[in-house]
Amino acid sequence: MKIYKKQGDTIQIICSPEESMEKGDYLLIEDRKVNRGLIVQVVDIQFANLPGILEDILRDVITEGTVQGCDYDPFNISSQIAVLKDTKLLVCKIRGAIEDGKPKPDVSWLPSRTNSRIIPFPIERLTSSDVRKPVTIGKTKTNPLTVDVRMLDGRLNIITGRKGTGKSHLSKLLLLALIHNGAPCLVFDVNGEYVNIGVGKCNKPIDLAEKIKILVPGRNLKFTLDGVGLRSFLDTMIYALDLPRTSSKVFSRIWSELERCGNLNLNSLAETIRRFNCHESVREAINSRYHTILDLDLFTDDPASAFDFNYFQRKLNEGSAFIVNMRDQHSLSRRFIVELFLSKLTEQLSEMRLKAIFLFAEEAHFYLRETYWDDIVTRMRHLGIFTTFITNQPDTVQESVYRQADNIFMFNFTNENDLDAVSKVSKIDAESLRLIVKDLPAHNCLIVGDIVRDFPVVVNVKPLDVQTMGQTRKFFQD
């Protein structure tokens, strides 16, 4: 391999066909005279534009099929011609430098074209060094990629890619790694894909099974008014059910009155709304939303069968994971549950009753209200909600999330609109992202961000030993 050109942060390298380079691979351009090296990543592979190649190919086209024959090539020059025809041009991006064997950020120098040696560079050497809480995500072209789970801590993460490329699989892998390391987790599971995460392939519970709690709304996820509290309930009424501000003030007064009398239950709430001295339109607004909530079958007056947020807080602090299975739930129900949990979490975190939580939000646009996106990126993050968004519709995630994301796990996208959306990510240049992501095979993922020390890495995500349940149900079975 030889350096051909450098322009900006792009270096073009001429590479013989025998070298099996792929997009995402790392190379070290080692200038031994100065004992420095440039770390570059292959972002595109093209054919080298050699003089006369067009004539060669034209001749092949002219003669192919219609003209048959044989070559008597006594010195076997044709093998060299074949080599030249297939000579590759590697388009690489400079990712870092090495000086005296240590990584350096200074990439403002140029290695010698003639003296440099270009060799494949195992990037895991840099991304997997000093890992204290390791998790093996998969394999790069040559070695397993082990990263530090701590790099998800305090971070905003995105897992995105086309349908069926392995997003949920990776998010389960990260979730299990967090649980394994005692991190509190909450998963908003839209498709019921995580419910068997505690069960191994052999149908036996895995070691971490005890730490995983599955919540099914209406079944083991019901709330009491008292348990939820006015603030969370009101937030939900306002944000999930669009209760007007004036009506919300009246509702607060109703709630406070019932609390003062020690009579806060579903029947008395309904009764008080009916007889409370307020404008008829306000009453109607409150009443209709209250009945909507009742219809969702999420509330009970029986404290024994209700979900206990104190238990939730305690278990989280012990390092458990809660999976809220929102499959088959009405969209309103989803929004209500999410509002309620986020409101409760904010409350518990701000009162320092909960240290932090790792939130996994699958297809969040289905249940997350507009104002929450910025809130999650800024306020909630500072409180200790560290979110991982998982989506196959990247344009549904707000641009600010991409810009501020600390770790991005990208699976294949071919659609230009999708690529446009993900290219807003600030941790990698848009050109590299587009070129690599477009050609990623299924289960291969481009990881960018803190977790890989800002060296974008392509990894083949390893299989999991748990029941992943992510497959789409099909009518025609083989």
Q: Does 18 bind another protein (CB under 8 A)?
A: no
DSSP codes joined into one string, 19-58: S---TT-EEEEEETTTTEEEEEEEEEEEE---TTHHHHHH
Residue holding tokens 């390092």?
A: 319
Q: Does 86 bind another protein (CB under 8 A)?
A: no
Count the Cβ atoms, other than its own, within 10 Å of residue 157. 25
Count the Cβ atoms, other than its own, within 10 Å of residue 308. 14
The residue within the footprint of another protein, chosen from 7, 8, 20, 74 (CB under 8 A), is: 74
The residue within the footprint of another protein, chosen from 22, 64, 73, 465 (CB under 8 A), is: 73
Q: Does 203 bind another protein (CB under 8 A)?
A: no
Residue 113 CB, nearest approach to another protein (Å): 13
7 or 68: CB nearest another protein: 68
**Candidate segments 70-78, 154-162, 310-318, 327-335, binder of another protein by CB under 8 A:** 70-78
74 or 262: CB nearest another protein: 74
69 or 262: CB nearest another protein: 69
The residue within the footprint of another protein, chosen from 2, 4, 85, 230 (CB under 8 A), is: 85
Q: Does 5 bind another protein (CB under 8 A)?
A: no
Residue 17 CB, nearest approach to another protein (Å): 13
CB 406 within 8 A of CB 162: no
The residue within the footprint of another protein, chosen from 80, 281, 288, 350 (CB under 8 A), is: 80
CA distance 426 to 408: 10
Question: 361 phi and psi, to 5 degrees?
Answer: -115, 105
Which tokens go with 82? Answer: 């074949």
Q: Does 478 bind another protein (CB under 8 A)?
A: no
- Taken as a whole, the chain contains a residue count of 478
Number of residues located near another protein, criterion CB under 8 A: 26
Query: What are the C-alpha distances in Å from 36 to residues 108, 111, 442?
Result: 12, 8, 36
Q: Does 68 bind another protein (CB under 8 A)?
A: yes
- Site mask for another protein (CB under 8 A), range 390-429, x = bound: ----------------------------------------
CA distance 323 to 320: 10
CA distance 206 to 197: 9
Query: What are the C-alpha distances in Å from 98 to residues 76, 117, 196, 213, 377?
Result: 42, 14, 45, 46, 34
Residue 445 CB, nearest approach to another protein (Å): 38
Residue 15 CB, nearest approach to another protein (Å): 15
- Site mask for another protein (CB under 8 A), range 45-64, x = bound: -----xxxx-xx--x--xx-
Residues 6+ apart with CB under 8 A from 275: none
The residue within the footprint of another protein, chosen from 5, 22, 33, 77 (CB under 8 A), is: 77
Which residues of the shown chain bind another protein in the complex (CB under 8 A)?
50-53, 55-56, 59, 62-63, 66-75, 77-78, 80-81, 83-85
